Every structure is written in C-alpha cells, then in structure tokens.
Structure 1
Amino acid sequence: MRAIFDNSYARLPDRFYVRQDPVPVRAPKLVKLNDGLARELGLDPDALASPDGVAVLAGNAVPAGAEPLAQAYAGHQFGGFVPQLGDGRAVLLGEVIDRAGRRRDIQLKGSGRTPFSRMGDGRAWLGPVMREYIVSEAMHALGIPTTRALAAVTTGEDVIREAVLPGAVLTRVAESHIRVGTFQFFAARRDTEGLKTLTEHAIARHYPDADGPLALLDRVVAAQARLIAQWMGVGFIHGVMNTDNMSIAGETIDYGPCAFMDGYHPDTVYSSIDLHGRYAYARQADVGAWNIAQFASCLVPLIDPDQDTAIERASEALHRFPAAFRAAWLAVFRPKIGLAAEEEGDADLIHALLDLMAAERADFTNTFRALAGGAARGAFRDVDAFDLWAERWTARLAREADGQAAQTARMRAANPAVIPRNHRVEEAIQAGLGGDYAPFERLVSTLAQPFDDQPENSGLRAPPKPDQEVRQTFCGT
C-alpha cells in the first residue's frame, strides 16, 4: 500500500491509545477490493490486489508511514456504563488525505488482540466482515454518511464462535473513529486536560468553524439529527446504538446486528441482544438524544468555569435536538411522498401512511417505491383506508408548484428500489462460507445503484417468503 500517511491521532498524548501492530495471519486471501474507494483515497487498486497489498490488508505487513494503534474509549452499552472499552479487535493503521482533500482513517478490523481485548481473541469471522462490506457500501450508495469498506480478506485461520468459522479482516475507512465514548473515557477519569485536547482535535478535524466546546455540541446535535432521520427514511435499524458506536462526525459506524426492515412496524427489532427493544426503529431518535446528553455531560467542564452556567448552556443545546430531528425527518420524508414545499399538515399526512403500513406490515421499501408508479394501493388489504389517505395525498400534491413528472422524479430519487435485505445478505454469507462469492458480488454490484430499477436483478427487490425471513441479526464478535 503506497499511501502518504499524516497521522494526527498518533500525535496526541500516549493515553489516547496504545501503539499496536496488527497480528499476522497464516494465509491471507483477497475476497473483495473496493477499486473506486481505493482510487478516491489516492491508492493504486492493482498494487492493493497484489500479494504485497493483500499482506497489508490482512495485517501481515505495515506500510511505510503507518503508525498502528488501538484507540482508547469508554461507553454506555444498553444503558450501562463501561469505563474502559477501546479497540479490542481493530487497529488504526493511520490517516491519509484523499483526492478531495479530506482526512480519512484507515483501520483494520479483526486484526488480532490488543490491550483492550479483555477476554476476546481480537479476530472477526467472515460473516460479519461480508455483512459490513455489503451494508456500509449500500449506505454510501443511498447517500447516507457512513464508514466505507475498502477490502475484505480471509485469513486462512479459524475463529471459534458458536462454531468453528473462517477468519477474516475488514479494511474500514472513516472520517475518524472518534466516538462519544472517546470523550467518556477521559470524563470518567476526570481528565480535563485530555478532554480539552480531544475537543480541540475533534473541532480541527471535523468542525473547524466551531469556536469551542459548546459549538462542537451544536454541530454534533445537528449531524446526529440528520443521520438518524436518514436511517429512518430507508427503514434502517442500527441495532446497537451504544455511545461507543456513535461517531461525533455524524457517520454510521459499527454494523453489527443492524438490519433494513421488510414489513414496517415502528417497534421492529432484529438485534439478538436487544432484548427489551431499546434500539427499536422508532426509538432511535430518542436514543440519539440520550447519547448526545452523555456527550454534553463530558463537555460541561470545558463550556464554562461555573458548573451551573455550563449545565444550563449545554441543556439549551440538547433541547434543540428534537426540533432539529423533526426538521431533518420531514426533509427526508417529504420527497418520499413527492413533496418539495412545506405545509403544516405534512407530518400528519406522512404518519397517517405509516400507520396504515404498520397495521398491515406493508413492506417499507416497496410501498414507498410503489408510490412513484401509482401502484401503492396493491400493497394494502384495506384498500378503502388507503384510498382515503390517497385522496388527502392527491390534494396535497396538487398544491405543489410543479407537476406530476417532477413529483414522480422526486419520489424515485428518494425511495430506493433495492436495499440489502436480511435474507439476501444471509444468503451471500452462507454462499461465501462455501467459497462461492458470486451472490456477494451480485448483491454489492446491485446495491451500488439502489435507485435504478435493474429488472435483471428484480429478485433482490422482493421481500422474503416466510421460510426466508431472517428475524434476528447478531453482533458477530
């Protein structure tokens, strides 16, 4: 990997991380290389696909200029605080400046034990690596901020989970890996100097127009409101919105037990570890606000010398989240039903459709996509109820300044034809475990153009049959 590294995180104080090389593997083999992303990063795809390049992607070689490290962070996991987590199965190779002038992290995930591994082996198996590659690249194609997948390699070694499984490493690219939990790590230790250094670093990296910790809080409030609204617009459920899985850059990060809904219901949960629905689809905005409150509490010592004043100012910023989310949610959902202008009753109109969908578990993606083709009525058994809603909708569309063609184009641009459905992802993983990556390649290729009809891949648009349903997703750690 011939990359020009500029490792700003490695220049922070030693207590921010542990220097850690990836642990070599027995027999690395390339599964998939993201040629387009490689070029975006200024890397040569052919060199990355060579034996020397694959050695870097597997952790068997450290490229010149890289300064591998495991980052320290803490976090609330399902509401319970853990004062030390950290990169237990990942190392940050370093940072590069891409062709657009953006600073990007390059991280190996599944690269072996670190001092933060606790009782874990620091490895990943092939299934979660394939899942993250598929879903993160699909999110990028949908226009939703996300970490990216540069490569997936198998290791030639087994890992032990519920069974003996093939090991793999994912090369992940991110705006950064700074999390709410990174701030909590220093706050838990009452390390105000560390908090100050981290805040200055985060501002310089992500929000250079912010003039201090309170402005940083405002930017994170806005970024998370937009991000969660975008998740909602495609029926995405993160599944594990712990504070250590919340990037302050406003990117989707850590695709563990995530899922895209098939049949719509606001209480939908897929994660096998979310036993009480804490991170259900409709609760994601509330959890986002809760997570940001934890972030705000970390910043209190930096906002104002007087604690009461600092808490008051932080609270004012937090109270802006609900309005920011509502505005972002409407900005996502208005075009999904063809609207460009804003009217007072738009939220009620959208929620009325969602209520109809929830009553019948109508397919989220296909129902919204069918609105553009005038075929949504067929998604409902109670056609009378849909017709009543459609009368309201038609009257609302008539008040738009443009015509039907523009409204249809808006809906097609806002409503994907294809998403990474759970059963298709699982099919690709199972085939990959047998050495057949054709379903994986087909899925990745199709999801790269999610708003195109692609009749040749129409089977990937269909909801699962009862015997195909995947009702639970797993962390894979």
Structure 2
Amino acid sequence: MTVHFPFQNSYSALPDSFFARVAPTPVAAPRLIKLNRPLAVQLGLDPDVLETPEGAEILAGKTVPAGADPIAMAYAGHQFGQFVPQLGDGRAVLLGEVIDKDGIRRDIQLKGSGPTPFSRRGDGRAALGPVLREYIVSEAMFALGIPTTRSLAAVVTGEHVIRETALPGAVLTRVASSHIRVGTFQFFAVRRDTDAIRRLADHVIARHYPELLGAERPYHALLGGVVARQADLVARWLLVGFIHGVMNTDNSSISGETIDYGPCAFMDAYNPAQVFSSIDEMGRYAYANQPRIALWNLTRLAECLLPLFSDDQEKAVADAQDILGAFSETFSDAYQAGLRKKVGLFTERDGDDALIQDLLDAMAKNQADFTLTFRKLGDAAGDPAADDARAQFMDPAAFDEWARRWHERTALEPQSAAERQAAMHAVNPIFIPRNHRIEAVIQAAVNDDNYAPFEELVKVLAKPFDDQPDYAAYADPPLPDQRVLQTFCGT
C-alpha cells in the first residue's frame, strides 16, 4: 500500500527568503505509538495505510511522501521581551499542505525531525515526553472547543536524544491552519523588507481572512482580525484555567490558534499569579498576565504592518493604536460572557461582574480547585443540597455567603434548575489534562515503554464535559505529593 498525501502547497511557493528547503533527517527505527484516526480521515488521509510501517516512516521523517515540498519556515521573535532577529523552525519541517474535508487548508508538519538551517546548534530532535505532552494537551484543547493546532501522530524514532540525560527520541506530526506567527512578520520587518511584509500579509488574508479581500483598507482590517481572534482565544484560555507558559511573539499564531505547547499547564487551585514554566522566572506569562501579553504581542505585529498602513508615520501609528484599542473590550466581552455562562447566568444584569469576581476572589483565598469548583457549582444549580462545590473551599462559609447571593440572582431568571445545570455542564469541563496525570503518562512511556496510561488519558480527555463514572478518578486534583510545580520546555 502507498501512503498518499494530496498536497497543495502554497507557502513554499512564496519567495525563498520565507523559508529554507530542507528534508527531515532519517531515523533508525520508527515505530508508531499513536495515530489520530479521526483527524486523518478529516484530512483526507487513509488511517489504515498510515498505520503501516511505510506510514510510520513518513510520520517519523525517514521517508518523504510524494508531493511534499519540505521546508523550515523563517521567523524572528521576542522571547521573554528580548528580540531575536532570526529564530525559525529549528526542529520542525513543514511537509506541505492539504485541503481537509471542510475545504480548509491545513499544514502538516513534523516536529522533532532533525536539524535545519535555523537550529542554532541544536540537534533538531524531540524527546518522547514533550511529544506526548503536546499530543495530550493539544487534543484536549480541541475537545474543549478552543482553537488549537492538532496532533496527527506520535512516533518513537528508535534513537535517543541527549538532554540532561539520554531520553527516547520521538516525532510529533502537527496539523495547523498555518504556522505563520507574529514573529514571521517580525523577521521581515527587522530587515526593512516591506515587499516581503506585503507579500506575507496578502498570503495571510487570502488564507485566513478571505472576507477581507475586498476591504478598502485590507491591512488595517487584517490587524483588526488578528486582534479579535487573539482576544477571543486568550479569553477561552482563562475560562478553562490554561496557562500557555511561553507567550513569545514567535509562539503567537496569526490564525488565532493555540500553538507551541511547551511548558504549558492547567491550574489546579485557582491562583491568578500561577506560573508553572521553569523558564518564566519573573512570571511574565502568569495566568492573569496573558491578556496583557497578548496585546503586547499584537502591538509588535502592528509595528510590522505600519509601512502598509500609510507613508505618513504619525497617521500609521494613530491608525494602529485605534485598532489595538479594540483588544481590551473584545477580550473583556468574551471573558465576562464566558464567566456568566460558567456560573449559569443566561442574562446580563448590573452587579453580575462583581458577583463573579467575588467568587474568584474567594476561590483564590481558599485555594479552591478551578475546574471542580465550577463543575460542582453546576451540580448545585440542579440540586441546591449538593455541596461538592462548597467542599472545594478551605473555609466553606466563604462559599456559603456567596452561594446565597448566587441563588438569589439565578432566581430572577425563568430557566429551570435542570436547564441551568445542563447549560453549566456544557461549558464547565470535569476532565482536564492535569499536570500530575500527564507526568505519570510520560514516566510510564519513557521508563517502561508502556503507552496504556497515555491511551486511557487521551480517551478520557476526548469527552471533557461528559460524566465518565469508570474514569471518575481522572477528575481529582493531585494529592500533596503528586503536585507538579514546574513544567519544562521541550527543547
């Protein structure tokens, strides 16, 4: 059987300055450990063929499929606020693009596929642990309804990579609407290549914002579109307790997808200042800082687009500031609307924002579990006698005082208790990829070549809003000795 990818490549048709042509580096003994069969079908691929040894060789980069035009994309970026004029895909190769069953163009990229001209002395490889983490979290985000890159496959290479110690090597096949980043624009802006910026902007509009093709000021409209998508995306992150961990401009997607799951994590106990990333020593990318950082990144994008706005620098800056000014309101509207849904409010009334903020403040003070508090609040909406939400608080009286006000507020709406509970359970997951569960999965795979825990966790997280009695333990927060206090970048 032959593995067929119906490639229709557009990015590699751009000028050579946009990328470096480079093939994946062959590996010794590729072995498929996970194929996302539904995603393969969505992409127009045959999962049965991808699961053959020939398929594993392609997914590991040992064989390049017909029609591929493998490239490593060029980009720059601000990393923790410090600008690096050249980054690029140092351990990833974009095989090409396919049109999925919904008519959407998708990148198929191998991550961990060997060195490229952008590797900066790195080995271009990935260890098994970060590959499993990205597979788990990206697919969990998809199931939660949050725009994200996807994971098509994970393959072990039969080789080791050297980090602090020797670890099993692996390759992730990542699928994205595109891998174009804020840093992609920065790469050309720092070189004052306005023609390339225009070419890139035109490509992005055609690919991600086709509704803007007839706009009177398409580049202004492009910035506005990216601002709106990023504001909505970060609101969605906060509503599920997600912390990206490394919101550099080279990790900020122009398409509005979550990209680059390095030291990412989901909160257990609610803490607005929560940081897990081992490299975020100053808390720049803490949970509550994410909206501010998203706007900072978008401002860097706006700077790149200024030459396309106007020859008059002052006018271009004023226009950009007007567009960026919409971020805060767009984010706040999305976030507050999401919070109202999480606490079961169908309408908006004066005092609602304060009521919800009081709950968050009490949760932070009482170290209440973010996910379970909201999920169990849904139970209380259906049955006022249910006290599992109350049990999340060190001082249950703090919840009691708030719950009294909440019941008074919900009584002003006509929905039944069952309707409210169903609506709340539809937006408040019970299962998230908790750090201690991910670490347990990684240890079983790395130490024992045991992927059963990985398979089970992926299965549970595919239905995050459903009660799954057989897997109820996956909803539990970590015990004190299970807590994961730091997460690490995969490089």
TM > 0.5: yes
The 1-side partners of 2:108 and 2:394 are apart by 49
How far apart are the structure 2 equivalents of 1:173 and 1:347? 37
Percent same amino acid at aligned positions?
63
Which residue does 2:344 correspond to in 1?
338
Among candidates 231, 252, 255, match of residue 237 of structure 2: 231
Question: May I ask how many residue pairs the two structures share in their alignment?
Answer: 477
Task: Show the counterpart of 1:431.
Answer: 444
Give, in whole Å, the separation in 2 of the partners of 1:298 and 1:430: 43
**Bigger Cα displacement from structure 2, 183-192 vs 327-336:** 327-336
1:366 aligns with 2:368: no
CA distance in 2, matches of 1:72, 1:23: 19
Alpha-carbon offset, residue 379 of structure 1: 1.5
User: Which deviates more, 294-303 or 401-410?
Assistant: 401-410
Matched, 1:454 2:456: no
| 2:428 match | 415
CA distance in 1, matches of 2:391, 2:12: 56
CA distance in 2, matches of 1:456, 1:411: 22
Shift of residue 403, structure 1, vs aligned partner: 2.0
Q: Please show how residues 106-117 of structure 1 align to structure 2 within 5 Å.
A: 106-117=108-119
Q: How far has the Cα of 1:344 moved from its partner?
A: 3.1
2:43 corresponds to:
41
Question: For 1:71-104, what per-residue CA distance to the aligned partner results, in whole angstroms no more than 9, with x for missing partners?
Answer: 0000000000000000000000000000110000
The letter of the residue matching 2:460 is T
Partner AA of 2:477 in structure 1: P
Match of 2:416 in 1: 403
Aligned to 1:385: 398
1:158 paired to 2:171: no
The answer to whether the aligner puts 1:2 opposite 2:15 as a matched pair is: no
Distance 1:399 1:177 in 2: 47
CA distance in 2, matches of 1:64, 1:166: 28
Q: Which amino acid is the alignment partner of residue 149 of structure 1?
A: S
Determine the structure 1 residue equivalent to 2:331: 325
Deviation at 1:304, TM superposition (A): 1.4
Q: Displacement of 1:381 after TM fit?
A: 2.9
Contact residue 30 and residue 56 of structure 2 kept, 8 A: yes
Decide which of 185, 188, 191 is 2:190's aligned counterpart.
188
Counterpart residue identity of residue 382, structure 1: D
Partner of 2:253: 247
Counterparts of 2:128 and 2:41 in 1: how far apart (Å)?
Answer: 25
Deviations 1:108-158 (A, max 9, x none): 000000000011000000000000000000000000000000000000011
Corresponding residue for residue 301 of structure 1: 307
Amino acid across the alignment from 1:440: F
Query: Given residue 463 of structure 1, which amino acid in structure 2 is its aligned partner?
Result: P
Secondary structure at 1:249 match in 2: coil
> How far did 1:287 drift?
0.3
2:97 is matched by which residue type in structure 1? E
Structure-1 residue corresponding to 2:319:
313
What CA distance in whole angstroms lies between the structure 1 residues aligned with 2:28 and 2:210?
43
Q: Distance in 1 between matches of 2:336 and 2:60?
A: 43
The runs of 5 or more residues in structure 2 that have no matched partner are 381-386
Q: Secondary structure at the match of 2:172?
A: strand
Aligned partner of residue 209 in structure 1, secondary structure:
helix
Residue identity matched to 1:51: P
Which whole-Å CA distance do the structure 2 matches of 1:272 and 1:469 have between them? 15
Deviations 1:405-448 (A, max 9, x none): 11111110010010000000000000001210010000000000
**Higher mean C-alpha displacement, 388-397 vs 448-457:** 388-397
- Measure, in 1, the Cα distance between the counterparts of 2:424 and 2:237: 17
Q: CA deviation at 1:393?
A: 1.1
Give runs of aligned pairs for residues 213-228 of structure 1, distance below 5 A.
213-228=219-234
Instruction: Report how far residue 348 of structure 1 moved.
Output: 1.3
Partner of 1:64: 66
Match of 1:467 in 2: 481
Aligned to 2:267: 261
**Residue type of the alignment partner of 1:10:** S
Q: For 1:151, what is the secondary structure of its paired residue?
A: strand
Question: Offset of 1:455 from its aligned partner?
Answer: 1.1
CA contact (8 A) 2:367 2:394 kept: no
2:383 paired residue number: none
Q: Over aligned residues, Cα RMSD in angstroms?
A: 0.8
Using structure 1 for the length normalisation, give the TM-score: 0.99
Aligned AA (2:256): G
SS of 1:313 mapped into structure 2: helix
Deviation at 1:383, TM superposition (A): 2.4
1:15-26 residue pairs with structure 2 within 5 A? 15-26=17-28
Give the partner amino acid of 2:394: R
Residues 133 and 438, structure 2, Cα contact 8 Å, conserved in 1: yes
> Helix, strand or coil for the counterpart of 1:18?
strand
Distance 1:377 1:165 in 2: 43
8 Å contact from structure 2 (residues 367, 393) kept in 1: no
Shift of 1:341: 1.3
- Ranges of 4+ aligned residues in structure 1 off by more than 3 Å: none
C-alpha displacement at 1:380, in angstroms? 1.6
AA in 2 matched with 1:257:
P
Tell me if structure 1 keeps the 8 A contact 2:368–2:394: no
- The residue type equivalent to 1:244 in the other structure is D
Deviations 1:447-474 (A, max 9, x none): 0000011011111111111111110000
Name the counterpart of 1:127: 129
1:89: which partner in 2? 91
1:77 maps to 79
State the one-letter code of the partner of 1:399. Answer: L
1:57-81 Cα offsets, whole Å, 9 max, x none, are: 0001111111000000000000000
* Aligned counterparts of 1:51 and 1:334: Cα–Cα separation in 2: 50
Separation (CA, whole Å) in 2 of partners of 1:184 and 1:345 = 43
Distance 2:288 2:91 in 1: 31
Q: For residues 296 and 413 of structure 2, what CA distance do their matches in structure 1 show?
A: 37
Amino acid at match of 1:453: D
Q: Which residue of 2 aligns with 1:171?
A: 173
C-alpha displacement of 1:345: 2.1
SS at match of 2:109: strand
Deviation at 1:307, TM superposition (A): 1.0
Unaligned runs of 5+ in 1: none
In structure 1, the residue corresponding to 2:340 is in which secondary structure?
helix
Task: Quote the offset at 1:391 in angstroms.
Answer: 1.8
